[in-house]
Amino acid sequence: MSSRYAHLQIAPSILSADFAALERDIAAAERGGADLIHIDVMDGHFVPNITIGPVVVRAIKRVATRPLDLHLMIEEPDRQLEDLVSAGASMVSVHVEAVRHLHRTVHLIKTLGAKAGAVLNPATPAGALEDIAMDLDYVVVMSVNPGFGGQAFIPHSIEKLRGVREILSTARSSAAIEIDGGIDTSNVAQVVAAGASILVAGDAIFDTSDAEAATRALRAAAVGSAVGSRA
């Protein structure tokens, strides 16, 4: 298998987990081979929903054995970055639509010791990354509108992934591409072929009777798609 596919990562999103049993659900996903634990931080302003903050992130850090991948769906994220990284975030992504000075925010995340990512909403073109591509550790392509779990995958996201991959290649950026929203075994082959290497999945893992088996199944589908693409 090529190095491109050897670095596929599964990032279960706890937004779809049982919040009364997060330790149990996280442990199950980790047994299934999760590489990251994806945490959505929402403020009720940038998106309608409200989720969690540094206190819960710190609690998750105590029980998770995988790096924490934080997706900030909040206004003025700079005000929260130090607390969130201190609480245990290894990766932090911010929306290009929410940040006035993206270059400054990205470098603040790095200065705090975390990997920095930029997130694109479905209606935001890939071209928004052109001037920041070389500064990023990863890019998050939203394949649903942010704010709630359980939404259907937006098919146009495949073209968005290809566009992001082209921009990163042109910029000679080594940033990974993460896809977030509606990912399951039915579409994982397409997103991997289009360039995604970090796969966020919520309902496909936690809205099942066996999160451990579901995590394994998603990886198998992703790896199978990679093998098939080389045949």
Strands of the sheet containing 115-120, edge to edge, are 9-12, 198-201, 176-180, 138-142, 115-120, 89-95, 68-73, 37-42
- Active-site option among 35, 43, 137, 180: 180
- Active-site option among 35, 40, 69, 184: 40
Paired with 39 in beta bridges are 70
Distance CA 231, CA 223 (A): 13
Distance CA 75, CA 45 (A): 7
Instruction: Let me know if 180 is a catalytic residue.
Output: yes
> Are the C-beta atoms of 167 and 127 separated by less than 8 Å?
yes
Instruction: Let me know if 210 is a catalytic residue.
Output: no
Question: What are the catalytic residues?
Answer: 40, 180
